[in-house]
Amino acid sequence: MALPPDPPGPPTSADPGDAAEPGDGPGSERAPLPEGTIPVGIALLIAGVATYAFFKVGNIAVGGDEEFKPITSLWFATFLLAPGFFLPLEQELGRALAHRRALGQGTRPVIRKVVMLGVLLTVLVIAVIGVFSPLIAGSYFDGDWFMVVALVLGFAAYAPAHLARGVCSGSGRFRDYAIIMGSDGVVRIVLCVALAVVGITAAGAYGLAVAISPLFAVAFVYRRGGLAAEDGPPAAWAEVTPNLGWLLLGSVFAASLLNAGPIAASLLASDDQDALVTQFSYGVLLARIPLFLFQAVQAALLPRLSRLAARGELDEFRAGLQRLMLVVLAVGAVGTSGAFVLGPWAIEVVYDASLSGRTLALLAFSSACYMVALATAQAVIALKGHALVALGWGVGVVAFLLGTWLSSDEVFRRVEIGLLASSIGAMLSFGLALRHKLVSGAVPDQDSLMDAITDMPFES
């Protein structure tokens, strides 16, 4: 991603995201809406609706569930690799920029360092994909080499998107952050509709829409000066990589678990089950609905929690996390029961698919456990437990592999059990880690809070 020049006109500090926060005055700690809540929440809602629309329109355009299966396979592989590898760069970039802003220092040298890391990581992962491309094309994409190309293009396109999001979050430019997050889905569905209108039915064209959609918003935000940065003191590697290794390991594991169900189903299913794999993917998407709300809240909590930590108000910090956990549990319970009762009707109406209430409830329950695990993991990271979080997600990966391998002979049942086992395993691991951190007297700081609140492997 090229470094943007300083924009003409108002200085960066005049950006809406840098304006006085609603929580800066008396009694601010109890402000109901932290900075960034509304734009980020709206962006996530738009992205979510666009995702479900893309699956609906794309399925109709290519001719049905069986023909749409390569696109669902591309989708989940892309959102395993891109957030898994680039989210830690976004986190560390945002943290480092926020730290420099607090010191009144220019941020351009930090951006240069992280861009170099992004380029290196992109080249390495694409090289690995290239080495294993015959296996990926044959076993995962059913011989469709165009989807391998789309996977490479999509992975490369999300590098500048995540780096741009890191610049925006670290600079307090939440409107630009929201534009990048929300317009990705909008561009994707616009391209999909355009392809459908002109009568294109080749799955590869829709795969290309998935691949290039994040670039449009990055270009737009760049042109409006949203990625501008000022020169400052040279940045040492230690400034941008203190926890990058643990964050990278944990992020890859977490993103793997989030997308493991459809990927495993695609690999394990027989050739005559392509339509069932697509329908199973619809069920996974439906079960994720509560995660949209959760991610919107988490993305917007950083300014308030950072102030609480900086002021040493740890009791209020802990109380906020406890209230959040109660909300997560309530949303998970409602989502699971709703999936059992209304899920079969909803998935038939939206996608003309047929899945049982038991399947949808099990997927929703595993998603709810994942949400609890993610919230707990963020608390552990806030208490400087980055290594423990990487270990916990690793436990979840092992639990998924064992659950999928040993639980059943039926493809989709074993994947469902594997997903549930992975979420519960990670959740229990993080619970133990959080207890250990609290007993040991660990306290959060602004850097660990930045890593925690931006630790969101869920993409739409």
Q: What percent of the chain has pLDDT over 70?
A: 84
SS3 state of residue 199: coil
pLDDT at 316: 75
Rounded Cα–Cα distance for residues 248 and 212 (Å)? 24
> Using one digit for the tens of pLDDT, what is the confidence trace for 345-362?
999 998 988 999 999 999
pLDDT at 443: 76
Q: Confirm if 358 and 314 have CB atoms less than 8 A apart.
A: no
pLDDT at 12: 34
Q: Which residues contact 13 (CB under 8 A, 6 or more apart)?
A: none
Rounded Cα–Cα distance for residues 168 and 128 (Å)? 30
Residue with tokens 């949209």, as numbered in its chain: 292
> Per-residue pLDDT for 92 more than 70?
yes
Instruction: Determine the residue type at 103.
Output: L
Of 239-243, 276-280, 300-304, 456-460, the least confident? 300-304
According to DSSP, residue 24 is labeled S
Tokens of 204: 């590869």
Q: Is the dihedral of CA 53, 146, 120, 132 positive or negative?
A: positive
More confident residue, 44 or 145: 145
This prediction's pTM: 0.85
Q: How many H helices and E strands in the chain?
A: 17, 0
Rounded Cα–Cα distance for residues 77 and 92 (Å)? 24
Please, which pLDDT band fits residue 20 given cuts at 50, 70 and 90?
A: very low
pLDDT at 307: 57
According to DSSP, residue 455 is labeled -
> Using one digit for the tens of pLDDT, what is the confidence trace for 23-73?
334 344 444 344 556 777 788 788 888 998 999 999 999 998 999 999 999
